[in-house]
Structure 1
Amino acid sequence: MKPAGIVRKVDQLGRIVLPKSLRSRFKMNEGDSVEILVQGDQIILERYRPRCVFCSTLEDVMEFKEKHICAACMRAVTR
């Protein structure tokens, strides 16, 4: 992971502001969901992408009855 070299302070409510240059670079817009991951002693921010509730894949995921399921698991469930 390459450091961006940008430093921001955390405000009273625990918020940080992502610089416009980073938001533009990663095509992040107001209202987009961000997933917060912890890896060892690092905090990682990723654009949220729904995962299949059964196998955790990110590929071919669709929403079904307010749950996310991939095409492969959908086929397995409907057999």
Structure 2
Amino acid sequence: MGPGLFIIMIAVGAVLTFASDWELEAVDLDLVGLILMGVGLLGTTVCAGVLRRRRMVVPPVAPTVADDDRRGLL
């Protein structure tokens, strides 16, 4: 699941909560919309954290010089 899917979940949840006037006896669409928005926000946050951790730049390791190599240069 990428960040796009979580953003779509937030949008669908907002539409169900704020823009729809459908009435179902067995399902509270306002609650379903709030749940979708919450899961979308949580997923976006987790996905952004994982992507940021993957993109960390690790500096290259400096080559080590052995003591024997230094004595030959002096």
Given the two structures, how large is their TM-score scaled by the length of structure 2?
0.24
Q: Which has the higher contact order (CA 8 A, sep 6+)?
A: 2
> Could you say which structure has the higher helix fraction?
2
Larger radius of gyration: 2
> Could you say which structure has the higher strand fraction?
1
